[in-house]
Amino acid sequence: MYKIVRKEVLNSAVKLMEIEAPYVARKAEPGQFIIFRIDENGERVPLTIADSDKEKGTVTIIFQEVGKTTKQLGTLEEGDCLLDFVGPLGKASHLEGYKKVAVIGGGLGTAIAYPQAKKLHKLGAEVHVITGFRNKDLIILEKEMAEVSDRLVIATDDGSNGNKGFVTDMLKKLIEEGNRYDLVIAIGPLIMMKMVSKLTKEYGIKTLVSMNPVMIDGTGMCGGCRLTVGGKTKFACVDGPDFDGHEVDFDEAMRRQMMYKNEEKRVLEAHECRMEGMKNA
């Protein structure tokens, strides 16, 4: 069992949990992920590691309540336990040797981009962080990102924070201002990573994206997470999750993400029905 030692509500849909998992914490590196399962009937869900503390033996995850499992996870409190928590899985990001990097986080992707920015900052790179959210109430990790970046740009789709636009607009502006990045890291919804990769290709800037497809085991056994990169089939769990954004077939990845949409809806509705029933009881 893996105890939740800290829980924080970051915005209306996004929560942070620090989980006691000393073995995982000892090895966790930016870019890697864990798989958790809440209870015996639960599904295995991968989440990228947001932070880890070797001394305390804890791993931090940040998640958006979108489906049944993440909503159920959100109802757990400090002191509660997860049945399973396995990791660190996947390859760590290679962040050494870069001088100036733009780190882009879209929505929840900001949580995954944070450890990357932190590590790059520690390695001495000049780090520009761009984060994007639908509106100002959804902004997360502003303080944390500010601490690990030389420049922080936060954009909102509706302009409610006073800076309207998409992360691609912001990146373009920074590049046009004369910033010469030797690496762009883009983490967020598939469509955002696709658009960033398209833009950086025009400028010839190397771009890393973090893929988070459906998977079961996370060790290369099921192949459910396969995607096409540079015309070849790759498994996100063992070959990634980081890939060259200019090589990833995003359209296929978006299609594959829809595979269980109906089932996810069905199981979520059943869950919400039960929760509603409990409230009314």
Partner 1 sequence: MPNMSLNKVKIPEQEPNVRNKNFLEVALGYTEDMAKEEAQRCLNCKHRPCVAGCPVNVQIPDFIQLVAEGKFEEAYYKITETNSLPAICGRVCPQESQCEKLCVRAKKGESVGIGRLERFVADWYMANREVKPEKVKKLNKKVAVVGSGPAGLTCAGDLAKMGYDVTVFEAFHTPGGVLMYGIPEFRLPKALVQREIDNVRSLGVEIKTNMVIGKVLSIDELMEKEGFEAVFIGSGAGLPSFMGIEGENLNGVYSANEFLTRINLMKAYKFPEYDTPVKVGKNVAVVGGGNVAMDAARSAKRLGAENVYIVYRRSEAEMPARLEEIHHAREEGIIFKLLSNPTRILGTEDGWVKGIECIEMELGEPDASGRRRPVPKKGSEFVLDVETVIIAIGQTPNPLIVSTTEGLDSHKWGGIIADDETGATSKKGVFAGGDAVTGAATVILAMGAGKKAAKAIDEYLRNK
What residues make contact with partner 1 under the rule CB under 8 A? 23-24, 27, 37, 41-44, 68-69, 83-89, 216-224, 226-228, 233, 238, 252, 255-256, 258-260, 263-264, 266-267, 270
Q: How far is the CB of 219 from partner 1 (least distance, A)?
A: 6
Residue (of 18, 88, 89) closest to 56 by Cα position: 18
Q: How far is the CB of 119 from partner 1 (least distance, A)?
A: 19
DSSP letters spanning 162-199: S-BS-HHHHHHHHHHTT---SEEEEES-HHHHHHHHHH
Contact 24, 85 (CB under 8 A): yes
Q: Which is nearer to partner 1, 83 or 146 (CB)?
A: 83
Q: Which is nearer to partner 1, 107 or 218 (CB)?
A: 218
Q: Which residue has the tokens 């919400």?
A: 272
Q: Which is nearer to partner 1, 195 or 253 (CB)?
A: 253
Q: Which is nearer to partner 1, 44 or 173 (CB)?
A: 44
Q: How far is the CB of 123 from partner 1 (least distance, A)?
A: 23
Tokens of 110: 């900001």
Q: How far is the CB of 165 from partner 1 (least distance, A)?
A: 30
Q: Which is nearer to partner 1, 2 or 98 (CB)?
A: 2
**Cα dihedral across residues 258, 275, 136, 114: positive or negative:** negative
Tokens of 121: 């900052």
Q: How far is the CB of 46 from partner 1 (least distance, A)?
A: 13
Helices (H), 47-136: 68-75, 109-122
Q: Which is nearer to partner 1, 146 or 254 (CB)?
A: 254
Q: How far is the CB of 57 from partner 1 (least distance, A)?
A: 13
Contact 244, 206 (CB under 8 A): yes
Give Cα separations from 115 to 29, 169, 197, 228 (angstroms): 8, 23, 20, 26
Q: How far is the CB of 100 from partner 1 (least distance, A)?
A: 32
- Reported in sequence order, the residue ranges of the chain that DSSP labels E, i.e. its strands, are 2-9, 14-20, 33-37, 45-48, 51-53, 58-64, 81-82, 84-89, 100-106, 126-133, 151-156, 183-187, 207-210, 226-229, 232-235, 242-244
Q: Which is nearer to partner 1, 36 or 114 (CB)?
A: 36
